[in-house]
Amino acid sequence: MSVPASTPDGTGTRVFVDALGATVAIEVQDPRILRAVDRVWVACRTSPADGCPVAVAPRLGEDADDDDVARALQLLTQVVTRQAILARAGSMTMLHAAALCDQRSGATIALVAPGGTGKTTLARTLGRGRGYVTDETVAIAPDRSIAPYCKPLSLRRAGTNQPKDEIAPQSLGLTPPQVQPWLAGMVLLRRDLPDGGEIVVEDIALLDALVLLAPETSSLAALDRPLHRLADLVESVGGLRRVRYHDAADVEPVVRDVLGRPR
Amino acid sequence: MTFDVELTPLARLRPGELLDELSTEEGTVVLVGRGEVSMVVRLSPLGQVVLAAVRPGLTLVELESEVRSRIGEPEAGDASSLVRAAVMALLETAVLAVDPG
């Protein structure tokens, strides 16, 4: 783990994190946020890099409370993600997905879904004993290797209008990948079954897969021949499947199957 | 994505900003848009013919004629209405663009 560095003007601290294979400097002025960043971004910490993108943490008022810190951390995570995506645009295929890998082979499943529809819950529920690659965005190189993004997980609180809490993966029993992850399979998640409904797994034809996946990509248009790149990726893992479910635990057999695939 | 240009007889239709196009035995999809705002659109069989025919830039009347020459008269329905409906759908998804005449 690297030591935080002072900002160039000496008024704050920079914490460097590895996000999607890019180094991002988190710039913090407030000591309350710095303490929290130190704690929750621990799985992403990396060495300082000159000229890397900077994610500036929100400033807090003197009377800020714990909820304000939580909101600032949540916003900061979004800024880091945005900076990382911009840094990787044009080189990596990026999908809105949680991802888990086998800790020996690196075989990884991308669980593709829009924001707020269960990615974090799946990573948390099925990630123990596996490599936690991300709960947000998967960045895939043309050779199917994956740049992990072991960001803090954003957990909802019970009440409405409450900020999410950013939690370090280790605090939830999740560990970063121990070997290089590579994409072994991808599924599109739809949590639309009623309670007690049996999981449904459907094969999706290639062109339909592209239509469905495109909204769940970032910077797709920045790739060279983006549709061909996405189609090659889908075909290289045996196609896209749609998984309809209610309980995250029911997705376990699908994850186990993909993580058992040889490269 | 929306269009708000009236489709007059002199308006020239042309392909929109297509970032990529992929055809397989299943059909054809195109990627439209720019930057962060992009969308994959799956073309209907008639939509594929319209897109191929319109590439040089054609008025709606010229396009109808070109489509007829490529695939003949429809088995059911009116060719003009069908082409116009296909054009409108492709304009709505920005697969086609229109330059006012």
The ranges assigned to domains in chain B are: 12-94
pLDDT over threshold 80, residue B6 = no
Which residues of chain B are within 8 Å of residue A215 when distances are taken between CB atoms? 39
Size of interface A-B (CB pairs under 8 A): 49
CATH for A93-259 is 3.40.50
Mean pLDDT of A31-41: 96
Which residues of chain B are within 8 Å of residue A219 when distances are taken between CB atoms? 36
Which residues of chain A are within 8 Å of residue B34 when distances are taken between CB atoms? 221
pLDDT at B76: 84
Residue of A nearest to B38 (CA): A221
Two tokens at B33? 């848009």
Chain B interface test: which of A93, A207, A211 (most B C-beta within 10 Å)? A207
pLDDT at A186: 98
Which DSSP state fits B54? T
Q: Is B73 helix (H, G, I), strand (E, B) or coil?
A: coil
**B45-83 pLDDT tens trace:** 999 999 999 988 999 999 999 999 999 988 888 888 999
Burial of B91 (0-12, 13-18, 19+ CB in 10 A): buried
Mean pLDDT of A216-235: 97
B21 vs A161, residue with greater confidence: B21
pLDDT over threshold 90, residue A256 = yes
Computed over every residue of chain A, the mean pLDDT equals 95
pLDDT over threshold 80, residue A132 = yes
Q: Does the beta-carbon distance from A228 to B38 stay under 8 Å?
A: no
Which residues of chain B are within 8 Å of residue A227 when distances are taken between CB atoms? 20-22, 29-31, 40
| Distance from C-alpha of A185 to C-alpha of B19, rounded to nearest angstrom | 26
Which residues of chain A are within 8 Å of residue B36 when distances are taken between CB atoms? 218-219, 221
Q: HEC states along chain A?
A: CCCCEECCCCCCEEEEEEECCEEEEEEECCHHHHHHHHHHCHHHECCCCCCCCEEECCCCCCCCCHHHHHHHHHHHHHHHHHHHHHHHCCCCEEEEEEEEECCCCCEEEEEECCCCCCHHHHHHHHCCCCEEEECCEEEECCCCEEECCCCCEEECCCCCCCCCEEECHHHHCCECCCCCCEEEEEEEEECCCCCCCCCEEEEECHHHHHHHHHHHEECHHHCCCHHHHHHHHHHHCCCEEEEECCCHHHHHHHHHHHHCCCC
Q: In percent, how much of chain A has pLDDT > 70? A: 99
Which residues of chain B are within 8 Å of residue A206 when distances are taken between CB atoms? 24, 26
Mean pLDDT of A133-151: 98
Per-residue pLDDT band for B5 (boundaries 50, 70, 90) equals low
Q: CB count, 10 Å around CB of B88?
A: 13
Q: Please state whether A30 falls in left (phi above 0), alpha (psi between -120 and 50) or beta.
A: beta
pLDDT over threshold 90, residue A10 = no
Domain extents for chain A?
5-88, 93-259
pLDDT at B9: 79
Spell A218-255 as b/e; 16+ CB within 10 A means b: bbbbbbeebbebbbebbeebeebbbbbbbebebbeebb
pLDDT at B1: 47
**A64-96 pLDDT tens trace:** 999 999 999 999 999 999 999 999 999 999 999
**A41-68 pLDDT tens trace:** 999 999 999 999 999 999 999 899 999 9
Quote the minimal CA–CA distance from A234 to chain B in Å: 14
Minimal Cβ distance to A207: which of B26, B36, B38: B26
Per-residue pLDDT band for A2 (boundaries 50, 70, 90) equals low
Minimal Cβ distance to B42: which of A211, A218, A221: A211
pLDDT over threshold 60, residue B3 = no
Q: CB count, 10 Å around CB of A26?
A: 28
Is the CB of residue B95 less than 8 Å from the CB of residue B46? no
Chain A interface test: which of B1, B22, B37, B95 (most A C-beta within 10 Å)? B22
